[in-house]
Every structure is written in structure tokens, then in C-alpha cells.
Amino acid sequence: MNDFLNQMELVGDWLTSSAQWQGDEGIPQRLLEHLTYSGLSLLFAAVIGLAFGLLVGHTGRGAFAVASVANLARAIPTFGLVVLVVTLAGLSTAPVLVALVALAVPPILINTFEGVRGVDPAARDAARGVGMTEWEILTRVEVPMALPLILLGLRVAAIQVVATATVAAYPGLGGLGRYIVDGLSRNDYELVIGGSAVVVALALIVQVLFTGLRRVVVSPGLRAPASSKS
Amino acid sequence: MNDDEPLIRWQWIADHTAELADYTGIHLRLGLLPVLFGLIISVPLGILCHRWRWLYPPVLTVSNIMYSVPSLALFMIFVRYTGLTEQTVMIPLTLYTLSVLVPNVVDGLASVPEPVRLAATAMGFGAVRRVIQVELPIAVPVVIAGVRVAAVSSISLVAVGQLIGQGGLGYYITRGLQLDFPTPILTAIVLIMLLALATDALLVLAQRLLTPWSRNKVTSA
């Protein structure tokens, strides 16, 4: 336990030393790289996942395909994909983006689809009955009702992406994983834990942001207990 | 990479079949034992959380925080205590499964219809026997849905363990990068995906065998 407390103190020193907060190797620079990887891949994944999830959820056609694609994408080892793309295409941001998009699509796709499909058919019928077009039914009835699940999918994806973007450092790319990988090769424990602490803090911020977003955008009538899928 | 290097050299695979089979076995062990341990922890923990609801939010928060720690970092933390061994990979993977398995056990138990619970009580089932013989079997589809997600992600995460020397098929991923040779990397990715998908298919089959009454119903993940 003493050993552990000593370690925490060293990590604290690392995190608060001014050298960590400036320059190309500093936390702000690494954080910016990390956020760029995470943000861009989440954006691409959201476009893909939402588009297909809404389409298939609304029409009800292609449900099996959606489940299979999501399953297949979940099985891809992110680490392997990053390394493969680096080997084939050289060092750039692309390998990280490809791998992280593949990681983030399944939760967004599945939850969007489940959310829209789970909308009470009576509500859909009523919307049709008052003369709404298909587009209006989707955007004004189905999406608002599916929003809790859609946000859940986006949150899970965001947290996975933020945590996994660290593997980018292995083949020589940047981001907060740099600290972990460099610490590993130099046997520098503080560097590893310090870097991880920043990633965990980032993930917690994402979690809080989504909780806040949920409060703001989900209709008050739907504010049931979190994570219920019924 | 050389421009004339093909994406895959079949000869390399043919030359390495025995070795590939060994690493596949190791990979399966490193990926699936954590799911088993995770299940052994999650079922009792889920039952407790279902019975005493105040326990659930803190358990959920802790397992969610665990989940947001990068696997690489978690491996490194355990290197200090368990060295460069298989445990160092399996303990973090076990912890990751909890964030999927515990909620699914709790949701599964919550899916038991109240009349069923009351009927079991009326038939003289005590609390423990009722959970084991009535509620858990009804919860199986939801629990297995969680096991499927946990198993597939666990199998694909094992590869990262290669950075501390224990990654099963991940060995070929780092090796391929060092040699600038895509064949082993691609082979490892395909084998890992096949393992994950085969495991997933077996779990679907297991669910059908365990819940013969729900065979005609579609269960959602």
C-alpha cells in the first residue's frame, strides 16, 4: 500500500510539473492530437451509424444485415487494424481513423436501430393518421422517442474511442497513448500512469457531457430511468 | 513496404500452420477465460444488485470507470504486481467484462415477470432457490446477449496484450510491423475475427439449448 501511495505521489508530480504542460511533447499538444483522432472518428462513425440505423429502423428492412455488420465490426481487433493500415499506407492519421471508425460504428448503429424499431407502433400510426410524411414521422416522432438509446450508443462509442485511441501510439503516431507506450519502453511507470490518468479524466468528461446532453435534448416525457431498453 | 510485396503470401501461411495453431489456442484461452471469470463474478454481484438496488449505481459507476481505462494502461499497472504473465492480460480483460455483464444480469433478473416471481413464492420456493431455479433461467437470454458482446470484445482486445509480451495472435501483429510484412498481420486479424465470430455463433447455439421455451422469439441484445 505504501508502495502504491508513493507511486501516486510521483504521478502527481509528473502531472503537475510545468514541463508537462508545454511544447511538442507536452500534455496540451498530445491532448489535442488525441481529441482530433477521437473527434473525427466519432463524427464519421456517427454519420454512418445514424444514417443506416435510422434507415433500417424506420423501414424495418435489413435488420439482419445491420446486426451482422455490427457484429463483424465488433470482432475486428482495433490494434491489428491500426498496424495493418500503417504497414500498407505508411504513418499518417488515416490508420487511426479507419480503426476507430470501425470500433465506434457498432454501438451507434445497433442502438439507433433498436431505438427507432422500439418506438411504439401506435405512436407511428397516430403520426401517419394525422397526415405526417415519412420524413416527418422519422424526424418528429421516431428520433425524439429513440433519443435516449441513440445517445447511449454515442456515449459508449465515444468512451471506447477515447480509451482506444491510445493504441495509435504503438506504430509511432501521437495522442495520449504516446506517454503509455514511451513509458513502457523506458520502463517509466509514472509516465504510463500519468498518461492513463489523463485518458481516464477525458473519458469521465465525455460521460458527464453526455449525461448533461441527455438532460437538455431528451423530451421530459421520456425521462425514464437511464439505460432501460424497453 | 515494398511496392511489389503482395497483401498476402499464401506460402508464409502454409509454412506456419503449426505455429499459427498454437498461438490460436493461446489466444482463445487468454480471451475466453476472462469472460468465464467475469461471469463467475457478475452473476452473484448482479443478484446482489438486483436485490438491494442501492448497491447498483456505485457498482455500475466503478465498472464504467474501469471500462474507460485504456487496456494498455491497465496491462501496465498489473505488470507491476503479476509480471509479464498471462494473468496480467487476463485480470484487466476480466474487469472489462464486468461493465457489460453486471448490467445484463441485473436487466435479465428485472425481466422476470412479477406473476412468475409470485407464483414461485406461492409454490414454496425460498428466496435462494427461487433465484437459482426460476429467475436465473428466465434471465438467460439477456445474460447471454451480454456474454456475446463481452466475448467478442475480449477476443479482439487480447492482441493489445502483445505489448507486454502476452497477446496470443497479437504476436503476429507486432512481428509484421517490425518486419514491414503485411501477411502475418492480416492473417492474425482474420484469425481473431474468425475466433470471435465462431464464439459468438456457439453462444447463440448455447442460448437455444438453454432456453428451449424462447426458441421462436427474437431476443434483442
Average pLDDT, chain B: 88
- Kindly tell me the sign of the dihedral angle through the C-alpha atoms of A22, A97, B178, B192: positive
pLDDT < 70 regions, chain A: 1-5, 7-8, 18-24, 223-230
**Can you give the pLDDT at residue B44?**
94
Please check the confidence at residue B122 and state whether its pLDDT lies above 60. yes
- What are the structural domain ranges in chain A? 2-222
B contacts of A203 (beta carbons < 8 Å):
65, 68-69
Interface test mutation site (partner B, options A83, A117, A176, max chain B beta carbons within 10 A): A83
Does B173 contact A at CB distance below 8 Å?
yes
- Mean pLDDT over residues B52-56, rounded? 91
Q: Which residues of A touch B (CB under 8 A)?
A: 67, 71-72, 74-81, 83-84, 86-88, 110, 114, 159, 162-164, 166-167, 170-171, 177, 180-181, 183-184, 189, 192-193, 195-196, 199-200, 203-204, 207, 227, 229
Give residue A93's pLDDT.
Answer: 82
Angle separating helix axes B56-68 and B86-110, nearest 10 degrees: 140
Q: What is the mean pLDDT of residues B47-61?
A: 91
pLDDT at B174 exceeding the cut of 60? yes
What was the pLDDT predicted at A3?
63
Asked if residue B34 has pLDDT above 90, the reply is yes
Residue B220: which pLDDT band, with cuts at 50, 70 and 90? very low
Return the amino acid letter for A129.
G
Fold classification of A2-222 (topology level):
MetI-like fold (1.10.3720)
Q: B22-210 is classed in which CATH architecture?
A: Orthogonal Bundle (1.10)
First to last CA, chain A: 44
Q: How confident is residue B4, by pLDDT bands cut at 50, 70 and 90? A: low
Q: List Cα–Cα distances, A216 to A140, A222, A223, in angstroms.
A: 17, 12, 11
Residues of B in contact with A170 (CB under 8 A): 163, 177
Q: How confident is the model at residue B1 (pLDDT cuts 50, 70, 90)?
A: low
Say if residue B201's pLDDT is above 80: yes
Query: Which pLDDT does position B188 carry in this prediction?
Result: 93
The answer to whether B38 and B150 have CB atoms below 8 angstroms apart is yes
Dig out the grid coordinates for B79 from the structure.
505488470
Residue A109 has a pLDDT of 93
Please report the pLDDT score of residue A1 as a whole number. 52
Question: So what's the pLDDT on residue B150?
Answer: 93
The DSSP 8-state label assigned to residue B54 in this structure reads G
A202 to chain B: closest CA residue: B68
pLDDT at A4: 64
ipTM: 0.83
Residue A62 pLDDT: 84
B160 touches B75 (CB < 8 A)? yes
**Contact at CB, B70 and A164, closer than 8 angstroms:** yes
- Is residue B25's pLDDT more than 90? yes
